[in-house]
Amino acid sequence: MTGPLDPATRFFPPHLVPYWSHPLVRELPDRRRHELLARHLYHYLTFTAHFETRVVNRATERIADGRTGLALPAAVRLDAYRIYCDEGYHALFSLDLVEQIAAATGIPPLPYAFDPFLRQLDGIGSELLPGEPLLAQLLQVVVVETLVAPVLAEVPADPAVLPVVRDVVRDHARDEGHHHVYFSRFFERLWSDLPTPLKRRAARSLPELIVAGLAPDLRPVGAALTVAGLGADAVRQVIADSYRTRRSAAASRSTATHTVRLFQDAGVLELPGATEAFAEAGLLPGTPDRPAPPSEP
Ligand SMILES: [Fe+2]
Ligand SMILES: [Fe+2]
């Protein structure tokens, strides 16, 4: 990317920004809204960079290195190293794009900490699968790599979005299509190798791992809205109205469709209490919506 950007540049599709149409956000001056969209993109990219290296590659490395306890063919391990490289590259181009856009626009990224989000995500595994940290991490990576986030399809499809952003997300989506297939097959191996008592425990933990994998990281949203000029009460209001809704629950269920089907096909839901746990989490069609419990802003 070269040269300064047009002030009308669209950094991200507004319909993918949950708070974009909130009345309190609509009242902000145009310049602040422009910055908010840039910061939403920064957040998406920065979160991606951390997620790839600290969540996906943490487990992928173990598969690649042969430290899962499973007897994996060399070809499966080699593919895990390929994914490890893909994810490292996704992190690299994500941060690179933030820096390029910040330099071209003069809109600085806000400080970001991934640790609170990671603690929350890992807390689910340690609570529901105590004594099985490796299994929790492997199930976690299967979940997050089989969720199909609408961002990956919708950003490249929006002709009004900055071309470099569309190109980066399109490349990422192509890689994630391969990863989706890999982790679906990996799950089948992992599952068939688990002893039945552990299968039962894992089956009941999977819905919560899905819900945790879908939970938005709201701290940076709060920070961006604050810098845009909203007071603490307004920030809380915008987040409550935008992220804890029936619509967001339905969107989560749609993002998790493939993941839930993968587990259904493997017989996970036939284990005692599993169907109830998936229904309780709002993950089965026709079950009441339960919005993902988001992290505190
Ligand atoms: Fe990735
Ligand atoms: Fe991936």
Average pLDDT over residues 241-261: 88
Where does the pLDDT of residue 286 fall: very low under 50, low under 70, confident under 90, or very high at 90 and above? confident
Look at residue 8 in the predicted model and tell me its pLDDT: 76
CATH number at residue 104: 1.10.620.20
Q: Ligand 2 centroid to 66 CA: how many Å?
A: 19
Residue 9: its pLDDT value, please? 86
171-177: long-range contacts at Cβ-Cβ below 8 A with a sequence spacing of 24 or more? 171/93, 172/48, 172/90, 175/86, 175/90, 176/145, 176/152
The predicted-structure confidence for 80-105, as pLDDT tens digits, reads as follows: 999 999 999 999 999 999 999 999 99
pLDDT at 251: 85
Q: From the CA of 176, which ligand is nearest?
A: 2
* pLDDT band for position 285 (cuts 50, 70, 90): confident
- Contact, 208 vs 128, CB < 8 A? yes
State in Å: Cα 47 to ligand 2 middle: 14
Is the alpha carbon torsion for 253, 134, 130, 195 positive or negative?
Answer: positive
Supply 232's token pair: 């603490």
The verdict on residue 8 lying in a domain is no
142 CA to centre of ligand 1 in angstroms: 13
Q: How far is the CA of 85 from the centre of ligand 2 (A)?
A: 10
Looking at this protein, which amino acid is placed at residue 152? Answer: L
> What is the distance in A from the centroid of ligand 2 to the CA of 67?
19
What is the residue range of 109's domain? 14-280
Closest-approaching ligand to the CA atom of 89: 1
Which ligand neighbours the alpha carbon of 180 most closely? 2
Determine the distance separating the centroid of ligand 1 and the alpha carbon of 178, expressed in angstroms.
10
pLDDT over 70, % of the chain: 94
Total of domains in the chain: 1
pLDDT at 70: 96
* Domain annotation covers residue 257: yes
Q: Which ligand is nearest to the CA of 53?
A: 1
Question: In this predicted model, what pLDDT tens digit does every residue of 130-185 receive, in sequence order?
Answer: 999 999 999 999 999 999 988 999 999 999 999 999 999 999 999 999 999 999 99
Ligand nearest to the CA of 145: 2
Q: Euclidean distance between the first and final Cα of the chain, in Å?
A: 32
Angle at 159 between CA 146 and CA 223, to 5 degrees: 65
The ligand that comes nearest to the alpha carbon of residue 83 is 2
Kindly give the distance from the C-alpha atom of residue 87 to the centroid of ligand 1, in angstroms, as a whole number.
5
Does this model's pTM top 0.85?
yes
Q: Is residue 98 part of a domain?
A: yes
The percentage of the chain sitting over the pLDDT mark of 90, rounded to a whole number, equals: 88
* Mean pLDDT of the 237-242 span: 95
Cα-to-centroid distance, 32 and ligand 1 (Å): 30
**Looking at the predicted structure, is the pLDDT value of residue 2 above 70?**
no
Given the structure tokens 């996704």, which residue do they identify?
A: 90
Residue 83 lies in a domain: yes
Query: Is 293 inside a domain boundary?
Result: no
Residues 6+ apart with CB under 8 A from 266: 187, 188, 191
Task: State which residues have CB under 5 angstroms from ligand 1, the bound ion.
Answer: 87, 90
Q: Tell me, in angstroms, the distance from the centre of ligand 2 to residue 145's CA.
A: 6
8 A C-beta contact, residue 126 and residue 133: yes
Per-residue pLDDT at 31: 93
